Amino acid sequence: MLALIAPGQGAQTPGFLTPWVEHELSHSLLQKWSHAIDLDLIRLGTLSDADEIRETSHAQPLLVAAGLISTLQLFEKLDFSTDLISFFAGHSVGELTAASLAQVIDGDTALNLVNVRARAMSLAATGSNTGMSAVLGGDRDDVVAALTSLGLTPANENGAGQIVAAGDVDSLHRLAENPPAGSRVRALAVSGAFHTSVMAPAVEKLAAAVAGIAVADPTKPLISNKDGAVITNGSEFISRIVGQVAGPVRWDLCMSTLAAQGVTGVIEVAPGGTLTGLLKRAEPGIETFALKTPSDLELCAEFAQKHGAK
């Protein structure tokens, strides 16, 4: 069985959209989305430096757009067949990409929602004196206990010995000074404590944005960041996406679900690499393919045919 997964914030790199915009339809879609959300996705994805695309309000729309156009080009190689895919999933903002790929929402709606989400999260972080740090290694229970004792939240549990702590900057400094046994702490270049209660105002704005949208049930099941559950109801998945802005991302449980459901192959859409790296360590029995540039499309299509449901 085959799953398609979409990366979250942090996967972007300068110029990563450059090879994808040569595709005529993709270029046209990027122009349309750029106009709709008042953000030049083509310039940001081809010419901007790391600092500019690190900004939340830039990074998140870029990532959703990249996931959609890279999958469009992959589907062309597969004659637009989605029958090979058994599951969709995404990490954090990648859940909006996954929702669109599973046809819960269309691409235009996905870009509008991610624009609201990204701007609201950036605004909620402003002046909060909060941040995030990756805790690498150590026993999970020990790490979570250490975070709790400092008033921090395990905002992203990514599996493979990686937990992202979020909360007050001073508490993050204390964590770095005295890391849990067997671990090391690395500060992340983000502007606030995403996936914590600090983001409550962003949840309200995103909830208002989804209130009037058209939602369908997914063509194939989605796996939720909230708890790794398999979701077949489109409205429920959108509701989970909204709440997840202020709630932890349990990517470790998503990976466990992929394995438990019998998935043998996973394709990470562009800019691929981050999630497949986690999967290789956490679930080595699952084969992975990271879709990075259009030069990968032929091999990716072969991978899909190998693992896809017949």
- Residues annotated catalytic, as ranges: 92, 195
Residue from 21, 16, 18 nearest 53 by CA: 16
Q: List strand residue ranges (DSSP E) for 105-261, in order.
A: 130-137, 153-159, 162-168, 183-187, 222-223, 230-231, 249-250
Q: Is the dihedral of CA 98, 31, 118, 234 positive or negative?
A: negative
SS3 162: strand
Alpha-carbon span 56 to 43, nearest angstrom:
16
Name 203's Cβ contacts closer than 8 Å, sequence gap at least 6. Answer: 242, 243, 245, 246
180: helix, strand or coil: coil
Contact 291, 269 (CB under 8 A): yes
Q: Name the nearest CA neighbour of 171 among 157, 185, 182.
A: 185
DSSP 3-state of 275:
helix
The answer to whether 196 and 167 are in contact (CB under 8 A) is yes
The rounded distance, in Å, linking the Cα atoms of 273 and 265 is 14
Could you please report the per-residue DSSP string of 2-60? Answer: EEEEE--TT---TTTTTTGGGSHHHHHHHHHHHHHHT--HHHHHHT--HHHHHSHHHHH
Sheet with 287-290, strands from edge to edge, namely 230-231, 222-223, 85-90, 2-6, 265-268, 287-290
Half-sphere CA count of 119, side-chain side, radius 13 A: 12
